[in-house]
Structure 1
Amino acid sequence: MKQTIFLTILAGALLLGQSTKELMKKAKEAGITTEAQAREMAKKAGMTDAQIDSEMKKRNLTPSGEEAAAEKPQVEPVEAPPAEAVVEPGTPEAEAPREEILPVVEEEIPAAVEEEALPLVGEEEAPAIVEEEVLPLVGEEEEVPIVEEEEIPTIGEEELTIQEEKELEDIEEVSLESQLQSGKKGLTYFGYDVFKGDPAVFQASTLGAIDPHYSIGPGDQIIIMLWGETQFRQVFTVGREGFIFIPEVGQVFVNGLTLENLEKKLFLVLSQSYASLDPSQGNATTFLDVSLGDLRPLRIMALGEVGQPGAYSVNPSTTLFTSLYYFKGLTTLGSLRDVRLVRGGKQVGRIDLYDYLLTGKPTNDVRLQLDDVIFIPPRGKTVSIQGEIKREAIYELKKGETLEDLITIAGGLKTTAYLDRAQVDRIVPFEERAEVGMERILMDVDLNDILYRDMDFAMKDGDQVQLFSVLDIRQNVVVITGASVGRPGIYDLGDSLRLSELIIQAGSLLGDAYVDRADIVRFRSDLREELIKVNLGRAMEGDREHDIFLQPMDRVQIYSLTEMIPDHRVALSGHVKRPGRYPLLEEMTLYDLIFKGGGFIDEKYLELTYLQRAELVRVKEDSITKEIIPFNLEEVLNKEGLAETLLRSDDAIKIYSLAEIEGAPEKFVSIVGHVKRPGRYELFEENMTLYDLIFKAGGFDDEEYHKQTYLKRAEMVRVMEDGVTKKIIPFSLEELLNKEGLAETLLRPDDAVKIYSLAGIEGIWWDKFVSIVGHVKRPGQYELFEENMTLYDLLFKTGGFDDEEYHKQTYLKRAELVRVMEDGNGMTKEIIPFSLEELLNKEGLADTLLRPDDV
């Protein structure tokens, strides 16, 4: 058995520091079954025989096969199920005896070793061992009498589920791969999105001076001007062969000349035709000026890791940096730190774009010439940084640049950065993996060493730097809470602070403070909390036993009397104007509470009150049962009977209305829907008909309103004689308005009539309406059935302005038309003011055509 464990120890040489159980699992997953395999792997990882023996001694094991051999006769071979086979047939591992792995199922394992052996059995068998060895201790019938009754609830299904294999795997599993720290996220490459803009935006001004080294070529314009005795100005374009033709002079070859050399050559050529140019013949009386006009575009090549490699025509003022915009910059595979310029097959310049992006200085930028080649090599060392840094991104570093340089490039640390530890997730370079024995490692770095002690930390390609934040905990504070403190909150602890001093800083105690106790919750050294109870009154008197010194992060709770003393209340419900729960005041009587409820000085309200009986419901002394104490309300209101009965906590008084006891004397019918005055109407006439009710609701003499009403059907809902079931009685509203059909049907109490609008039944998709509100005689919605309906027409329909008295009460200087507008951002409303006086005189906006939904 120990031989098997020893193999797992050797196999875990790469994972020193892990538990034996973790190492056994990894050995099993890797298929290691022999001591030779395990020892070989440990030696490859750099361990010596002495280190292997030392590790074995730490685990109280010996590298001897004799012990395993002694155990082997006690074990019967067991064949593993096919589903659990983890070794492919034909491999050397498949030929190894299974007895060294599977005996755990049969042999008796000491309790100290059992847990470590479980992972070697296989994922499917692990639960079986747990159930066989553990469950009977809790669940077998013969064991139950041993457990006391009060202890049974502490051992339940919830605790047993912790032993399931799935949860054990979640806790014990160790991954060989780096796990992302919480808060890590995907980053973008720094600088590459700069080149997605318009190339013209980044070019030098075309109005500036021409580079004196600019090489003249075909397509360039040359401006020659003579002034003085001879006046001459003409623009010449360099031909394809490099010549310009000057009248009376002939062809002049200018291709490849700089501006300075061009001027010299033209002076010599023109001096032969214009003697006044040559000072050797005396004082020159004619003078020459040569300048360049429109310049030909440059043709360059872009190669390497660029977005669109190929040939490009660029502005003559283009430089190495600004040329990158023409071909949409670099791909993320290209280097921003080493952009190269090749001219005539030789590298003549290179720029680091980080200089420009970070400082705005185009260091070493070069003006391009015809047939220049811009070459972008692959990106160099690439690292990322995120967390408490000002500019999270993926960056490219030059050879020799360190973590401090990376922090500078990324804009520096945020003020919330934690300096004692940063973490670097590193992929070990190929050439170092054999020595290190791992492919990925995590490294913790003290930023204080980097920033303040001049220590360098070299970066490797693929490094991921995570900067952490300081904790959101302020350790130099204490907290005081409670409604009985003037200003509860967080306070500076200072050098020292007693409880009484904190309370004074917090505005002292209020009048209802409970002084017999205050609580202080304090963190112990192991971060567990303890409760410290003090007498607040003594602490405020200066008693040092209770007026203790506070410690960082203490939380002080001050209580109020209302929290300590129960809140006693009484209730009033029923036919009162202000029902509810009222505080129980000292010496509060039954009459006092009814008086607070109000309404009984109102004679009309009193007439609707049942006075012969009201009820007081009181909780008995056992705090469970209740008794009803009836009383005559009329006597109480006259301060007789039980009027002076003192109330107790939780007493409840019920007042009844006359309608509840004797039935409602009033009878009502209702009408809802498309009517002008929907609601409940008193059925005070024995001969009130269906027509009468609809006439009361109004609206059907209004032609516009009438048009919007669905006339073919309306409904009356009637309560049947059993008082429970209801019946719908449909009728034609059109017939009823003509006093036909059911017009003369007598109404009964609780009848309900429903009138429908045309829009509610048939929809209004074909209808168009405008509305008018405010100081008009007939406000409302009007159908826009005329295509040429104007603003004046609408005001005319609403009426009132021919009435002199009504006209005098109208504000004429301004009215408003609200119009729904539609633009690219959706639907908006526009307010169009106008003079009402002008409109009524058919001036101003009087003839403005209305649109649907105008208001």
Structure 2
Amino acid sequence: MINKLVKFMLIAVMLSNTFLLDAITPTPDQIEQFKNLPPAQQKLLAKQLGINLDDLNLTGSPQKLPDVPPVVTPRKLNSQQAVDDIYNLKQNENLGNEEKALLPFGYDLFAGEPTSFTPVTEIPIPAEYVVGPGDEIIIQLFGKENETLNLLVNRNGKIQFPNLGPISVSGLTFDDVRNLLKKRIKNQMIGVDSSISLGELRSMRVFVLGEAYKPGSYEVSSLSTITNVLFVSGGIKEIGSLRNIQLKRKGKLIENFDLYDLLLKGDTSNDKRLLPGDVVFIPSATRKIAVKGEVTRPAIYEFKKGEKIKDLLQMFGGLKSSANVKSVQLNRINKQHVREVFTLNLNDPTDLKIKLKNGDELEIGAISDYVNQTVKLTGAATRDGLYRWHEGMKVSDIIRNLNTDVLKITDLGYSIIVREINHQHDIKVIQFSLAKALENKQDEKFNPTLNSHDELILFSNLQTTRKNGIKQKIAEGEITDQAFARNKHIDETITFDKDDFSREALLHSVLDKLQRQRSVGAPYQVTTLAGEVKFPGDYPLPTNSKISDLILAGGGLKDSAYALSAEVTRTYTKKSEHVSIRHINIDLDGAFKHLAKDDLVLQSRDVVTVRIKPEWNEVSTVEIKGEVLFPGKYVIQRGETLSQLIKRAGGVTDLAYLKGAVFLRTELKQKEVNLLREMQQKLKAEIAAESIGGGSSNIVASKKNNALTLVDEIDSTQALGRLVIDLPKIINDPQQHDLILKNGDALVIPPNSQTISVIGQVQQPTSHIFNRNIDVTKYIRMSGGITEQADDDRIYVIKANGAVMMPSDNRWFSSNKSKLEAGDTIIVPLDTAYSRPLQLWTSVTQIIYQSAVAIATITRI
């Protein structure tokens, strides 16, 4: 006892002096000496020296790593990345939404990009956990003593319990350790109870080898299992096996882990906990099969030796309801290394017992879209779609009530039944009236009996045709209404809105089928209705259809139709195979009365034309503005003239400037639009040519900028459709100079003008008070003179009536003073030789100036 006391005092003196010298930073030797002291003496000495025992790591256990979870960022599999790249490329090339390639099953579960190898410790600890060196045991004492102890298991497998001494815990389960400590505390520390848990757990080093994404050595938690280290290592390469993951310990195989048990069944019973030094080895996959088609999970699957088709069914999750189980294709490489195809029936137990082979491909196709015993309702119906067919079914069995079963826009006078007539899916068409079908339910003539797979098509009484991709051509006048009515062939694909129930939309597929089935001996069963009917166009030709039926199909006659007669154009093929055409005039009234001589039975390619009434004209309106007594819009009759319109408007006022009148015509406006668009395209082409050509880069850039500015000006130029007229002559001598009006014409008569304008390449474009004694040169001088870029040889004048007066020689200004009048505009153009500008500039700028002058006149009203 005396020796121990002396030893303690000597160590205390030595440590105290050393600690003071080292600023309370003990060396490893000092710590070792300190460890040899009993716990009570360690605590006393630490208190004297002001040292925290927790900072000295007295147990000699391995240093703990910070408790930071490993970071594993998601990654794409190589095959997934390749598929996405190809898919995105196809999407960019507008190749459509094609089915993606098959991916290997299961590899994406663990696919990650590990960025930290720190072990995870925040995991619930099972009672069977085996305690070992490096684990921390937390003991909370309460009762007579209240204290929390954090004790580490040292290399010897013991914990240093104050007042109780060292206790061996290594190799015991956590449950056993807890019971042991509770018992010791209860027996040796009277009046003290305890709560015991595990704190920080020891880490251990294991190996992940083989076809791991990042093979190597990993420091993981002592609670880690096979799946934990697979995740930490980034997963498995696509050439690795998911079904034969091997756990090896000291060179011996401990477990073969099949990841499919986890993926398909949620079974983790073989996901063994690892020990220090364990090796998780991932061999290469040697047996794979591709499964595609109508299955729940199409993918590439790995299979084990001896597995069969029935085992594969469990892997891909079963079949879709649309799968054709009686005709499954198995593609297999035979012994001669040639592919063979076998047809399997998955309802046949014999086929289910077929063993799988590496490289097999199993494709489960879909059942046919063919639906038996049905009738299809299409078009302007409340409930379109498929209806169950039964023997003796009629139209009235599907459309029972005109108030509830059809739309308000449904045409009750014209509907058709499309019926397949043979195995080649050739069709014929039956025409009927929906209103008469419901009025005469017992009459087969009006209420036709339906066959299985008939299609019943109801049309709207509106012609709302939509053709995507050709709107621009319509706007530019390349495709006319007549071309639409005749279903003119165009290069673009025609698509229709799903709610478009017009004849054009719903008959398109029917006419297409009739076109495809035409042949020698089977003529094209289509007729054409043209002229003054509501819906002109091509129509399918029903058996024994007559002229009255075709006109009914076209919605009936317009009010403009000449109802006394019509013309049938019929094509004949002679015995010599020569084709001739004959025109037949028929009495429309007789046709509507179903007289045989007039209501002719139609033939293939007949064209029925309903003429317009003689002298018929839709209401035409014109507008007159400005200096007339009664400006406004007027309805005109065919052949009415401009002078007559002015008289109807009360004549011109005393302030009217007749020479400056602006006359606008709609058809000319469209021509101007087309001309401006054409010039804009040509100008862009010249810009490109100038950019490619040689010359100073500064000059080219300057010319290009000027030209681009001109292109923008064309965009902002308003096309008016101005027609140059001499209004004084029209009023004074209408017999010689009068103008016949057209629908949409407009006349603007401005008030008297006292100014003349100078614009273009002058220093100060402006307007001046008109003076008969001042010539063009002086007006230009009054505007500051011409600029450096001006072309003084091509100065011209836009007269008040819109006419352009060009120079005849260099002295034309001074010798023709009288030609200048109030309201005129002097234009000083850009020199076409200045910096070699584009050739179109002169023409384009002249059009822009003319438009600007006309707009200025109109805005004065």
> TM-score range, shorter-chain basis?
0.3 to 0.5
Instruction: State the TM-score, normalizing by the size of structure 1.
Output: 0.44
Structure having greater relative contact order (Cα 8 Å, sep ≥ 6): 2
Instruction: State the TM-score, normalizing by the size of structure 2.
Output: 0.43
